[in-house]
Amino acid sequence: MAKRFNFTIAAINNIEIPEQGRIEYRDTKVPELTVRVTSAGSKSFSVAKKVAGKNIRVTLGKFPANTIEQARKKARENLLLLENGINPIEKKREEVIQNLSVVDLYEQYEENFKARIKVGERRQKSLDDFRVL
């Protein structure tokens, strides 16, 4: 299959799953729109563009949960933001941070700390000592 084709449900469903790694295909209607296919069979839409010498990729959602038209619409919206100098990833990150409470931040910190305990980077006693404060 060509690396660039008109995205249709049938065409995306007929994409061969790679044995390992992933492969990308581009849409002909919105050239920056890609569908990534992984060796696990996952197919997800993203939009990729180089801005100020930096590659920016925004994941738009998985196929078929997101339709092709939804993906094209999201791609155009994100491209418009990029054209206006707004990084959609940074914008979303800022929105998430603004909506977090101190409790949410602590829960994230604790989850991260527990993960680091599992891999041996931190100790349970350090977390227990922090909780006492």
Average pLDDT over residues 56-84: 91
Domain boundaries, the chain: 4-86, 100-132
CATH number of 4-86: 3.30.160.390
Q: Greater confidence, 25 or 94?
A: 25
- pTM above threshold 0.75: no
pLDDT in tens, 22-55: 999 999 999 899 999 999 999 999 998 887 788 8
Alpha carbon distance 45, 11 (integer Å) = 14
Phi, psi of 71 (to 5 degrees): -65, -40
What mean pLDDT value characterizes the chain? 87
Position 98 confidence tier, pLDDT thresholds 50, 70, 90: confident
Say which amino acid occupies 98.
Answer: Q
Average pLDDT over residues 98-108: 80
The H or E element spanning position 129 is helix 124-132
Q: Which two tokens stand for residue 122?
A: 């931190």
H helix intervals, 52-101: 68-83, 88-98
Burial class (CB in 10 A: 0-12, 13-18, 19+), 78: buried
